[in-house]
Amino acid sequence: MDKLMMNGMQFYGFHGVFPEENKLGQRYQVDVELHLPLREAGTRDNMEATVNYAEAYELIKAIVEQKAFKLIEALAECIASELLRTYTSINEVTVRVLKPHPPVAIFFDGVQVEIHRKRA
């Protein structure tokens, strides 16, 4: 299956289990891989045969910046579900959410979840 990938999208959101996270917020990084047939888009140079990544970006941005989740797992699940619901040409989606500064007393590059969902 062909892929359309959107990597390194950064948004400011208010997700977490601690009240401070919900109040102060932080930056999140989101990557998505959209699995869909792209032959027609490639051979006919036709926007109608693909996913408009600018529109998909706005959908993802609205989820990350306007909703609040305790877990980044729930955030990733919501993004995957909405992409599959909105774009019927997508057969599968992989979503990665990176929380670069979790409020824990250990030093690392952040915590990331990756989920992969298929159309039922």
Distance CA 41, CA 2 (A): 11
pLDDT on residue 31: 98
Distance CA 24, CA 7 (A): 25
Query: Which long-range contacts does 73-76 make (Cβ < 8 Å, 24+ apart)?
Result: 73/113, 73/115, 75/13, 75/15, 75/28, 76/113, 76/114, 76/115
Distance CA 30, CA 28 (A): 7
Burial of 83 (0-12, 13-18, 19+ CB in 10 A): buried
- The residue among 119, 109, 111 whose CA lies nearest residue 86 is 119
Over range 25-33, report the average pLDDT.
96
The angle, 0 to 180 degrees and rounded to 10, between the axes of the packed helices 53-66 and 72-86 is 140
- Residue 23 pLDDT grade (very low, low, confident, very high; cuts 50, 70, 90): very high
pLDDT on residue 108: 79
Active centre residues (catalytic): 99
Q: Which fold has domain 3-118?
A: GTP Cyclohydrolase I, domain 2 (3.30.1130)
For the chain, the straight-line distance linking the first and the last C-alpha, in angstroms and rounded, comes to 16
Q: What is the pTM of this model?
A: 0.94
pLDDT on residue 105: 72
